[in-house]
């Protein structure tokens, strides 16, 4: 379901973007000149904000490699991927080292021969994932985060979905009758 959701979202987004007024350098959602360095900088800034909000501080992230590189890609997808990797990396680094002695996280952008392949590597010293988790790491909802952190992130249960019960009233008592 989750993989088809991504494909369906891409197809619908591309269709709608092609029907709108053209944006310079774009064909629908696809940028003709996606800069992985610029997208990484934006994702780093977003991840630092989230990490600082959650843990009080964030590790420094350094960019290395082909910072001048451009390629055709969907920048919003690259940002989402990098943001998720950086959030995981920052959380693991803070939990493993504490906020007082955090080593930097490295993001390396590299290209292959004839500029045919592009690799973006996020490297940290966050302690890694135990081998016993290996069979599950590609599951959509898998995480190594502490359950208490997860509960805080989704508001204490329900994952933000309507459960059919009205929210509690500030003064107590039954909810008002429907109109």
- Summarize pLDDT for 63-74 with one digit per residue, the tens: 999 999 999 999
Nearest to 33 by CA among 71, 79, 60, 67: 71
Over range 93-111, report the average pLDDT.
96
Whether the predicted model's global pTM rises above the 0.75 cut: yes
Instruction: Kindly tell me the burial class for residue 44, based on how many C-beta atoms sit within 10 Å of its own C-beta (0-12, 13-18, 19 or more).
Output: buried
Residue-level pLDDT at 134: 92
Q: How high is the mean pLDDT of the chain?
A: 85
- Give the residue, 154 or 7, on which the prediction is more confident: 7
**DSSP letters for 74-115:** -HHHHHHHHHHHHHHHHHHHHHHH-TTSPPPEEEEEEE-GGG
Which letter does DSSP use for residue 154 in this model?
T
Percent of the chain exceeding pLDDT 90 equals 66
């Amino acid at each position: 379901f989750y993989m088809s959701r991504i494909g369906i979202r891409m197809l619908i987004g591309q269709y709608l973007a092609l029907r709108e007024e053209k944006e310079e350098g774009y064909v629908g959602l696809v940028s003709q000149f996606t800069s992985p360095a610029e997208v990484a900088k934006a994702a780093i800034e977003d991840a630092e904000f989230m990490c600082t909000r959650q843990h009080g501080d964030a590790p420094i992230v350094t960019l290395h490699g082909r910072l001048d590189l451009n390629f055709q890609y969907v920048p919003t997808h690259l940002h989402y991927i990098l943001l998720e990797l950086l959030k995981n990396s920052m959380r693991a680094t803070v939990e493993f080292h504490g906020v007082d002695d955090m080593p930097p996280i490295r993001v390396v952008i590299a290209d292959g021969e004839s500029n045919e392949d592009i690799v973006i590597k996020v490297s940290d010293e966050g302690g890694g994932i135990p081998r016993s988790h290996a069979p599950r790491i590609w599951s959509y909802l898998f995480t190594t985060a502490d359950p208490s952190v997860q509960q805080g992130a989704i508001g204490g249960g329900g994952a933000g979905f309507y459960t059919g019960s009205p929210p509690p009233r500030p003064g107590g008592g039954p909810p008002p009758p429907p109109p």
